[in-house]
Amino acid sequence: MTTLDWHRERSDLSDVALLDNVQGNGGIDLRAVRLYRLGRVREQMRKRGVAALVISDPVNIRYATGARNMQIFCARNTPSRYLIVTEHRTILFEFTGCEHLARGLETIDEVRPSSTASFVAAGPSIVEREKAWVAEMVGILNELVGPGATVGMERMNAGVSIAMANAGVRIVDAQESIEMARAIKSCEELKCVVASLRATEIAVGKLREAIRPGLTENELWSVLHQSVIAQDADYVETRLLSAGGRTNPWFQETSNNVIGENQLIALDTDVVGCHGYYSDFSRTFHAGPGAPTEHQRTLYKLAHEQVHHNISVIKPGMTFREYSDQAWNIPEKYHVNRYYLSSHGCGMTGEYPYLYHHADYPASGYDGEIQPGMTLCVESYMGEDGGSEGVKLEQQLLVTETGTRLLSMFPFEEELLR
């Protein structure tokens, strides 16, 4: 059978149907999820006059089609696989020998083997490989959308992008179309988000139960990793668990540091979980066996206050600037070590929009509108510059027609809120 239109001849026992069943979809109509997402991409392309997208980010390929394959490998080895999306056609160029993985996807019209235009694949023949890649791509695009059409491209190696431009292709960045598509979730898509969160909360519960002085950070973090993978997560995007003095400043990755008695342990989940959706909430725990200190409680209560104040001001129709103006003002002694964002979008990974602190808005902020269907993560990090410890808290929520609905349900630490 040729690859052309092969999906139309799939049986009820296609690879995708089996995968949907294995994932335990819990009543989620994954076909509707996939069709909604591809429709969103095409809608945003039309708004911007983009005739075709050439997508190389594996997360965005999965968003547009549902096709998953070696996500981290493919992110590191661009372009190992890539996708063309036009108004009426999609062609997935899949990693060699993997064409069967997308069998049954109603969002893909054709699968072809990819031609990896990278130095690793081509060696000294890289220039010739790039020219051949561009010649093939230009021929396909001319056939699908005609010469002179606007084409959105994601990251490729520099030689490919230069050669595409030299071939006369009118190139724009694909990011805007894709990010704006991803920003608004459907009801079925939200079920995927919630499924990912519930699985991650189970894992964080196991991690919390495993806390004891004498464990290394790596040993404790591995509890989370094992549990989410066992529940069909894809991977954990970061290694953000630290204890004691390594909680300040934030962003110190998990290590062989041994957790000491009565230290704080801070965690940001960053789990790409069930159905490929991001579960992103943060919690800080106390190692015991004694009670938290007053300083530890102060940090925790301030972070808790920041998160809940900022959730309370979020309203549909609010501009990003209005949110920034109304968001919680960080006390001066904690300002240097503040988290770099106040809130951010969340879907299959962290995404548009970024909402900045009031003090950072003039230099970094941009305006836009908070809309129903957005899922946002509200952030806080509280730790003095040069301080002994810090607290990281974060909640994930849905913007509704009338306000917000909390999605992350893992409890906060009562002993740190007293």
DSSP H or E stretch at residue 320? helix 320-326
- Residue 320 banded pLDDT, cuts 50, 70, 90: very high
**pLDDT tops 80 at residue 18:** no
pLDDT band at 25 (very low <50, low <70, confident <90, very high): low
pLDDT, mean over the chain: 92
Q: What is the pLDDT of residue 19?
A: 42
pLDDT tens, position by position, 400-413:
999 999 999 999 99
pLDDT of residue 157: 83
- pLDDT band at residue 16 under the 50/70/90 scheme: very low
Confidence of residue 76 (pLDDT cuts 50, 70, 90): confident
Q: Is the pLDDT of residue 115 over 90?
A: no
Whether the CB-CB separation of 176 and 150 falls below 8 Å is answered with no
Residue type, 392: K
Q: Please state, for a pLDDT cut of 70, what percent of the chain lies above it.
A: 94
Q: How confident is the model at residue 255 (pLDDT cuts 50, 70, 90)?
A: very high
Q: What band does 21 get if pLDDT is binned at 50, 70 and 90? A: very low
- pLDDT for position 322: 98
Give first-to-last CA distance, the chain, whole Å. 67
Q: What pLDDT is stored for residue 12 in this prediction?
A: 32
Residue 183 and residue 344 in contact, taking contact as beta carbons nearer than 8 Å: no
Any residues with CB less than 8 A from the CB of 398 and at least 6 apart, and which? 185, 190, 193, 373, 374, 375, 404, 405, 407
pLDDT in tens, 368-403: 999 999 999 999 999 999 999 999 999 999 999 999
The structure's pTM equals 0.91
What pLDDT score does 79 carry? 78
pLDDT in the model for residue 146: 94
The SS3 assignment for 300 reads helix
Rg (CA), the chain: 23
If one compares 21 and 12, the residue with the highest pLDDT of the two is: 21
Is the pLDDT score of 134 beyond 60? yes
What domains does the chain contain, in order, with CATH numbers?
Answer: 6-182 (3.40.350.10), 187-417 (3.90.230.10)
Confidence (pLDDT) at 358: 95
| Confidence at residue 22, expressed as pLDDT on a 0 to 100 scale | 37
Helix (H/G/I), strand (E/B), else coil: 161: helix
Residue 10 has pLDDT above 80, yes or no: no
Task: Please tell me the least confidently modeled range out of 3-12, 42-51, 293-302, 350-359.
Answer: 3-12
DSSP 34-73: HHHHHHHHHHHHHHTT--EEEE--HHHHHHHH---S-HHH
- For the segment 103-116, the average pLDDT, to the nearest whole number, is 91
Q: What confidence tier does 229 reach under pLDDT thresholds 50, 70, 90?
A: very high
User: Cα–Cα distance between 112 and 228 in angstroms, integer?
Assistant: 32
Which phi and psi angles does 238 have, rounded to 5°? Answer: -130, 180
What percentage of the chain exceeds 90 in pLDDT? 80
Residue-wise pLDDT for 326-365, tens only, equals 999 999 999 999 999 999 999 999 999 999 999 999 999 9
- Average pLDDT, integer, range 130-147: 94
Where residue 79 falls (left for φ over 0; alpha for ψ -120 to 50; beta otherwise) is beta
Distances (CA, A) of 55 to 63, 104, 203, 311: 11, 20, 32, 34
Separation CA 302–CA 197 (nearest Å): 25
**pLDDT confidence of 126, banded at 50, 70, 90?**
confident
